[in-house]
Amino acid sequence: MRCSASGTKLPPGRMGVPFFGEMPNFLWYFKHLRRPDDYINSKRHKYGETPGLYKSHLFGSPVIIACSPSLNKFVLQSDANFIRQWPTAKIFGINSLICAQGQAHTRIKSFLLRAINRPDALRQMAVMLQPRVISTLQSWSQKGTITACKEAEKAFCGQSGLCILIRTAELPGFVAIHAFSLGALSAIDESSPVTFANIAKHFAGFEPGPVLDTLDELFKGVMHGFRAYPLDFPGTAYHHAIQCHTKVWEIFRVELEKRKNNPDGAKARNDLMDGLMELKDDEGKRLRDVEVLDNIISLVVGGYESTSLSMMWAIYLLAKNPAVLQKLREENMNLSKNNNEALITAEDVAKLTYTKKVVEETIRVANIAFLVFRTATKDVEYKGYTIPKGWKVVLWLRYLHTDPENFEDPMCFNPDRWNGSVKPEAFQVFGGGSRICAGNMLVRLQLAIFLHHLAIAYKWDLVNPNAKMMYLPFHKPEDGVELTFSKL
Q: Residues with Cβ < 8 Å from 201, sequence gap 6 or more?
A: 128, 132, 207, 271
Residue 462 contacts residue 481 (beta carbons within 8 Å): yes
What is the predicted pLDDT for the residue at 159?
Answer: 26
CA angle 458, 461, 463 (to 5 degrees): 145
Sign of the alpha-carbon torsion through 70, 76, 79, 83: positive
Collect all residues with Cβ–Cβ distance below 8 Å to 450 and sequence separation of at least 6.
Answer: 133, 311, 314
Fold (topology level) of 1-92+370-428 = 3.30.43
Amino acid at 177: I
As annotated, the binding site includes 437
Question: For the chain, how big is the Rg over CA atoms in Å?
Answer: 22
Give 6's strand partners.
Answer: none
pLDDT of residue 417: 93
Closest among 330, 256, 340 to 290, alpha carbons compared: 256
Q: List, in order, residues 6 or more apart from 258 with CB less than 8 Å away.
A: none
What is the per-residue pLDDT for 382? 94
Length of the chain: 488
- Per-residue pLDDT, 33: 93
Alpha-carbon distance 480 to 370, whole Å? 18
Res 331: pLDDT: 97
Low-confidence ranges of the chain (pLDDT < 50): 1-5, 145-186, 188, 190-191
Measured CA to CA in angstroms, residue 365 lies from 46, 169, 260, 312, 328 at distances of: 27, 15, 44, 12, 17
Q: What is the pTM of this model?
A: 0.80
Over the stretch 406-417, which tens digit does the pLDDT of each residue have?
Answer: 999 999 999 999
C-beta neighbour count of 353 within 10 angstroms: 10
The answer to whether the beta carbons of residues 452 and 193 sit under 8 Å apart is no
The domains of the chain are located at 1-92+370-428, 93-369+429-487
Q: Judge contact between 380 and 80, C-beta under 8 A.
A: no
Which of 406, 454, 450, 408 shows the shortest CA–CA distance to 429?
Answer: 406
For residue 223, what pLDDT is reported? 76
Q: Is the peptide bond before 473 cis (omega within 30 degrees of 0)?
A: yes
CATH of 93-369+429-487, one of 1.10.260.40, 1.10.150.120, 1.10.630.10, 2.30.40.10: 1.10.630.10
pLDDT digits (tens, 9 = 90+) for 42-82: 999 999 878 899 999 998 889 999 999 999 999 998 888 99
Residues annotated in a binding site for heme: 437
